[in-house]
Amino acid sequence: MLSRWAHRQGMASDCEISNVFGWNLTEMNTERILSPAAIHEYLETRPAGIRWREWVRRRQYLMTRFHQRSRPLLVIAHFFRDRRAARKIALAIEQDWNETPKSCQDAYDEILFRAPGLIVIQLRQRNVCKCLGHRHPAVREAPFAEPHEAFLGTEIGEIDLAYQDIDKWHPLPLSDSALDAKFLEGSRLEEFHERQFRLKILSIILHEINHLVSPQEDETTVRQRSLTFYRETMAHYAENAISTLSLTIDRSFSRFG
């Protein structure tokens, strides 16, 4: 159907159409995309007893995706008390990812392409073992541990994140404190720390997805990749922020002038 349409429009093949738009249209027509609405519907129509226990535990699910990627769908499983941290993670995945340089996104393109269609992120404040995150060999989050038609038969993976430990972690102590000093001068330290936290989270999510996709790849290579991602996205953010920082300072001086 598509190729007939293509020929009528004077195009040579499906291939050319994909190149023009940058996507494969044939694949897009047949691939079924996970719907957060269908998953919510499934969660809310489970037996009352199960939902009651979940409500008592105040367990909640926030769904999100990387900008312009239909998969993986990420489900942030969290407790009510951690809802702000859950929203920050969604912000990192949706907005900060979109603002990272293309070379940083490209480093994870293949990994995200091969990732399970649905990934559960178990959000924790701390891990007893002090790790910042793990990949889980099996899905433990109850609603996602059994197959359901809302999942469209997609593979499901699971990771955990210890967000309070991530907040305290200094991946690159020297450059982190050099930037701290710069932003302190510009009095935008809080904004800087917020962004730094979200970029650390993003690099750890990508690190754990990397483990899910290639469990055999050695830790040094996986870590190198995620630290490079963190270093380059931080440098990119700081460069832009510092150039607007000096503008803000200039403007505040001009008010006295």
Summarize as ranges the residues that interact with Zn ion (CB under 5 A): 129, 131
Shortest Å, Cβ 54 to Zn ion: 26
Closer of 206 and 238 to Zn ion (Cβ): 206
Closer of 93 and 161 to Zn ion (Cβ): 161
C-alpha distances out from residue 252 to 232, 245, 246, 247, 256, Å: 30, 11, 10, 9, 7
Shortest Å, Cβ 61 to Zn ion: 23
**Which contacts of 77-84 are long-range, i.e. CB under 8 A and separated by 24 or more positions?**
77/120, 77/121, 77/122, 77/123, 77/141, 78/123, 79/123, 82/123, 82/125, 82/163
Shortest Å, Cβ 222 to Zn ion: 5
**What type of residue is 127?**
N
Shortest Å, Cβ 194 to Zn ion: 25
Closer of 56 and 129 to Zn ion (Cβ): 129
CB atoms within 10 A of CB 31: 12
Q: Which residue is nearest to Zn ion (CB)?
A: 131
Closer of 229 and 237 to Zn ion (Cβ): 229
